[in-house]
């Protein structure tokens, strides 16, 4: 296991194989679909026990139908092996409770190719504005939308994660997730 105080690279985190988790702005984040508040509360309680045992505490957002968990090692300003281990434990606890994460394949798809060019960016930003923290969509674009992504970074100072799922030649599929 890596030094628990060593900040890991994006590649090291990606290679850890955390299927439920996404790297967003130097943090690990996962959304678990609990379906109802009591199930979410049960998951939060198990996360709390695991966090206390590890002496490593995540940020947790509990809503009626989901739990969003964010992990970062504040003392090093990034993701460490402590975050990877706690993420694994949280995923195991969620699975034991029959709870699944909301992954890229669960995100709604917005096909920008079907939107008239004159209103395309406005329509995409309308969809992004409607997402809550941790919410995502998959954008299908006729080209690599670098100008749109630059505008998105300016528009959402809290952050937006960009993950290319497919890069051309006829269409680009990009997962966009609000921080």
Domains of the chain listed by start with CATH number? 10-101 (3.30.1360.20), 106-178 (3.30.110.40)
Does the pLDDT of residue 105 top 60, yes or no? no
Q: Average pLDDT of 1-25?
A: 82
Confidence (pLDDT) at 153:
92
Q: Average pLDDT of 32-36?
A: 88
Confidence (pLDDT) at 175:
87
Does the pLDDT of residue 60 top 70, yes or no? yes
Report d(CA 58, CA 73) in Å as an integer: 9
Confidence (pLDDT) at 104:
45
Dihedral sign, Cα of residue 86, residue 92, residue 94, residue 97: negative
pTM above 0.85? no
Model confidence pLDDT, tens digit, residues 119-132: 999 999 999 998 87
Cα-to-chain-centroid distance, residue 11: 16
Does the pLDDT of residue 107 top 80, yes or no? no
Q: For the beta carbon of residue 91, count every other beta carbon within 10 angstroms.
A: 20
Q: Average pLDDT of 132-142?
A: 88
138, 104 Cβ separation under 8 angstroms: yes
Segment holding 95, helix H or strand E: helix 81-96
Q: Which tokens in the block code for residue 143?
A: 């080209």
């Amino acid at each position: 296991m890596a030094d628990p105080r060593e900040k890991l690279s994006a590649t090291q985190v990606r290679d850890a194989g955390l299927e439920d988790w996404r790297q967003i702005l130097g943090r690990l984040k996962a959304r678990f679909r609990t379906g109802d508040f009591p199930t979410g509360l049960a998951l939060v309680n198990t996360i709390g026990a695991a966090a206390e045992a590890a002496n490593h505490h995540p940020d947790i957002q509990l809503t009626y139908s989901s739990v969003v968990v964010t992990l970062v090692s504040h003392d090093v300003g990034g993701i460490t092996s402590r975050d990877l281990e706690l993420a694994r434990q949280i995923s195991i606890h969620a699975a034991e409770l029959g709870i699944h994460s909301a992954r890229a394949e669960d995100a709604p798809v917005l096909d920008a190719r079907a939107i008239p060019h004159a209103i395309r960016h406005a329509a995409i930003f309308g969809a992004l504005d409607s997402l809550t923290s941790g919410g995502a969509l998959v954008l299908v674009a006729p080209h690599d939308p670098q100008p749109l992504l630059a505008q998105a970074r300016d528009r959402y100072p809290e952050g937006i994660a960009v993950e290319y799922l497919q890069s051309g030649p006829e269409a680009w599929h990009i997962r966009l997730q609000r921080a």
